[in-house]
Structure 1
Amino acid sequence: MDSARQALRWSIPGLIFVLELVAFAAVWRLTSGDDPTDIIDGIGPTTALATILAGIPLGFLLYQLYYRNYRPYGRSVLLFLRYPLEIRHGLRQARPYWSFVRRDRGADILRRYYQLGGHPNLVRRAWHEDPVPDREDAARIRDVTAARTLFPNTRPSSFKVLTLDEPLHAGCSAEEPAVCQKCRYEYAKRFRWNWAVIMALLDYAGNRPDGAAIKLEYAAGSDIYHALGAARTAIATAAIGSIGYRLTFHILFGPPVHVGHLVQFVVGGSLIALLAYAQYQVIHSAREQASTNLTIRTAAALCWFSHLAAVRNGRDLSRPGGAAKRAGSGNGNGAADRRSQRAGG
């Protein structure tokens, strides 16, 4: 990645973080009865330039925080909102609702690749480690997740998380496989293995003239996907930091607190939380859409390349049971037809 692209990529979440802090500071002033526009009036050219320059190192740090949390499984802070609704069934029933697994994007791309007619020979050329995922329902790329909405027994919202739909090892006795340590370990292995297969396919295509654009296009789409994820992290971090700062230096260790100050803190904190959550939802929905588009485009491009590579190698890569099988049966002229196709191609 070139330096200009890195600087642009890191500056986006950094600038979002700074702008969010300014917006949240305006909310605090509004709830305190002050004029929120005083914040804008107090920003001079030097402060604005320093803010823009600070966006790059801040963005770099936010990216590290984002990638730190980009693991195959984890616990969602927002799922805490489900906790009061599920605690009535007991603590053991409520605790699993914190857990989630991340979308296996490698498996999604491989499944869509085979659905679109991609040939397993390309996967075999790029990936030499057994088992090679050579069909849509191969064990390693089969979908084992189910969506869970933020609130149970309601219509689906834009915020959803994934959980394991079935145990991934025979000895699992957990009511929900996502809380089983061995199931999480198996899912993490699948997650990283499938991603390695996709990277091998993109590298294989990228090292050939006809496939170089596939890798570049994927890199551009991946940048958008991760930039949205880092922007989401910036919004949440700014909200937590703003509320935490107000609580620490204005309530706990500030001047004597009156009831009016507590009311202002609760109102201001609630407004900031709602504002951050609304933005988080929008970014989350855009990120999911970007992921879906990237999956379809990557799978379609690799599918096209698998047939193009096959033609250049002089092989008929029609899917098993497809046109090649029909062409070689019935009239005995399949081999002649294929020779004539190669001569004309």
Structure 2
Amino acid sequence: MTSPVGLHRVVEPAGVLPQAAWRLDARPEIAPNEVRIRVQRLNLDAASFRQLSEKHGGDGEKVRAEVLDIVATRGKMQNPVTGSGGMLIGTVEEAGRRSPLGLRAGDRVATLVSLTLTPLTILDGLARWDGRSEQVPCDGYAILFARSIAAVLPDDLHPELSLAVLDVCGAPALTARVVAEQVARRQREGDPRPVGVAVIGGAGKSGSLSLAAARRAGAGRTVGVVPVVAERDALAGVGLADAVALADARDPVALSTAVTTALGAPADVTVVCVDVPGCEHGAVLATADGGTVIFFSMATSFAAAALGAEGLAADVTMLVGNGYVPGHAELALQLLRAEPGVRALFTARLAAD
């Protein structure tokens, strides 16, 4: 009996969903409702890659060895420390006759579900990867379930660029939704104040897309917060934010002061797009009562966020960015095509990798 959510691929412990499983069955034979993809490139999520790189002192060989060990042991790529994985691109080798995903053999696709729940086998030992970048050239195969999500790669964009965008496409879509709701509510209430949006980690992949999405959704003023001068200059140079602030997001007072100074008031919507832990309290403190904090970072401690908000008597709504919003892939690719600033930051990031 094959499950649409992949329960039949869970080896241990029994009874949990694939994302929560310790080990998956990654055999290449597919069930009638599955799809097998020949993998060409992985994209490790930022929090996972940072943790691995810092653990091994930037030694790429050791990072590569640990990724290989994780996949061989667990049948999927799920960092045991961060709990996160990433996504992949590849070519459909075989689609089961009952698969509802609409994919055909030969389609070049990006998976829009996490590697933490995707059965994965690596065949080439990651021989073409130096262990020093999030994008990982790879030969292997992966399995998609009936409830998985994948997008056919667009012809007008380089696959590596598409992968980088689709890896974080949930962030701009949810940001746009939340900002539009705030704008509509103020209009209904006759409140003339503009909606202020702060994006923590505004120069990164999800951050730059979220800034562009917030502006398009009607934000009256936006600020991108970054930790170093080089990122400040890069973000200011592309004009995605009305203001760019320099602050360590792990310092609650410094972060709150930076956001409030840039916006003239605490943010109505704060979007956390950083890949380091310890930013929860600052995000809450920087957000106005009645506002919303969206946590997109896999480094977030949700216990710290909840208890911190309670301790600050902060009346804020806190959302977990789960990576999926209907239409998220199309929106992110549209922003990349239409916003030169977004494209410039992504292109520079890929060149640096």
TM-score by length of 1: 0.23
From the CA coordinates, give the structure whose radius of gyration is larger.
1
Bigger fraction of residues in strand: 2
Q: Which has the higher helix share?
A: 1
Query: RCO higher in 1 or 2 (8 Å CA, sep ≥ 6)?
Result: 1
